[in-house]
Amino acid sequence: MVIDSNLFVICLNPLSKYIVVFRKLVQGSYKLCVSTDIPFEYLEIFNRKFKQGKAETVFLFLREATNIIETEVYYFWKLVAVDPDDNKFVDCAIAADADY
């Protein structure tokens, strides 16, 4: 699975019905694939949306969890023209052969 940073923000809101996505990640129910730059985008977005402590805690979890798979991206597809920053998620999903 690959999660876009905006969706990840929604998943971290305890009042969101999507909090289950993050809880299942913490429980190890699935693997999250990230390329080199994805965690840093997460941190940047989390720092804007949350208090620094929460942002850093989630970032550290992403760096330490065994079900976070660092995926090497060898080709940049440039499939997202509307928001080119989102290409990193598409490229990671393709490289990881992710289901979601």
Tokens of 29: 């129910």
Tokens of 37: 């730059």
| CA–CA distance, 17 with 79 (Å, rounded to integer) | 29
| CA–CA distance, 73 with 70 (Å, rounded to integer) | 10
Residue 66: its pLDDT value, please?
96
CB 5 within 8 A of CB 58: no
Q: What angle do CA 88, 54, 94 make, to 5 degrees?
A: 15
pLDDT above 90 (res 98)? yes
Q: Is 44 helix (H, G, I), strand (E, B) or coil?
A: helix
**Structure pTM?**
0.90
pLDDT in tens, 28-87: 999 999 999 999 999 999 999 988 788 889 889 999 999 999 999 999 999 999 999 999
Residue 5: its pLDDT value, please?
94
DSSP code at position 65: -
| CA–CA distance, 15 with 10 (Å, rounded to integer) | 9
